Structure 1
């Protein structure tokens, strides 16, 4: 994979991610849900944290996370260029491209969304709003994909920790960027030997 092709793939993932987020932000109010199927719903939420809604607590948690993401993206960009120069495995390159594009997609939300959108509480947000909801580096990440395969299943009392409580699987709400990061990490885990092995170099 050439560097130009890698940048093209990153651009495509970013474009899909941002189009989906802007569409949701400008057509849904917060917590609005559309049921596509019983197991697949478009449910608009926002979060201040990492992929899949994780957060860093504290007053400065958001800015720390955003700055960390920016440094991480620079590190991933260097990793991608170095891996391409070394003619690394396509498994590794695809994984890095997906992780890079996903991280950059959520950074765009964090850095810019607070100053270009107004809030989505009980209303549909306006892009390039006169009174934006936040400040630079304090934007919230837009999530929308929800796949509740099992909803409020009554767990038996004998099950540790969750016995007697309603159980939902899969309960996370995510976006295209989160999905890209997860697939990239999944490739590194599942195809670890092919991603980091040297057999592809020896064969050339």
Structure 2
């Protein structure tokens, strides 16, 4: 894969990611959901609109500057990943590696766009459907919330076995993460690196 094809791939993933996020943001109230292929308990999955600070499972860095630090860190990380992609293509390394890096890069940029711009592009989604280019934005530059929407609760309201330390006997849901297209790209990229490790790091 050459650099042009790699960045076209990145652009396509970003386009899908941002279209899906803007659609959900401008058509759903926060925590609103629709069932897909079935209803309620029988649904295959849900489109559930949530927002988070930009870390897995809604984790966040505490403090007034935690969100800003996370966003800036991600921007620097994207710079490093971009160089890794360019250098890997220049050296003619494995296409497995290049595809994995491309997916990770696209996903990282996708969530950075939310963090950098969404706070000033949209108004609040609480109790209302947000509008884009609002005169009353909900945040500031670099303080936007990441939009997530895909929810696959495969096992719901089950009890953790008693022998499991700390959480034994407590109810749990699997899979309880809510994610977006960018997250899928990142996870797939890392999955390729793990599953096809030998092929990824073998010179073409």
TM-score of the superposition, structure 2-length normalised?
A: 0.94
The residue number in structure 2 matching 1:157 is: 162
Runs of 5+ unmatched residues, structure 1:
none
The residue number in structure 2 matching 1:34 is: 34
- Measure the CA separation in 2 of the matches of 1:132 and 1:81: 36
Partner-residue secondary structure (3-state), 1:27? coil
- Measure the CA separation in 2 of the matches of 1:169 and 1:194: 31
The residue number in structure 2 matching 1:125 is: 130
Runs of 5+ unmatched residues, structure 2:
none
1:5-58 deviations in whole A, cap 9, x for unaligned? 001100000000000000000000100011114241011000012245332222
- Measure the CA separation in 2 of the matches of 1:59 and 1:84: 40
TM-score of the superposition, structure 1-length normalised?
A: 0.94
Contact 1:111 1:136 survives alignment (8 Å): yes
- Measure the CA separation in 2 of the matches of 1:77 and 1:174: 23
Structure 1 residue 15 corresponds to structure 2 residue 15: yes
The alpha-carbon deviation at position 190 of structure 1 amounts to 1.0
The residue number in structure 1 matching 2:112 is: 107
Q: Cα distance 1:156–1:75, how it changes in 2: closer, same or farther (>3 A)?
A: closer
Contact 1:52 1:178 survives alignment (8 Å): no
Structure 1 residue 93 corresponds to structure 2 residue 98: yes
Q: CA RMSD in A?
A: 1.2
How many residues are treated as equivalent by the alignment? 199
Contact 2:54 2:111 survives alignment (8 Å): no
- Measure the CA separation in 2 of the matches of 1:156 and 1:75: 43
- Measure the CA separation in 2 of the matches of 1:155 and 1:95: 34
Structure 1 residue 50 corresponds to structure 2 residue 52: no
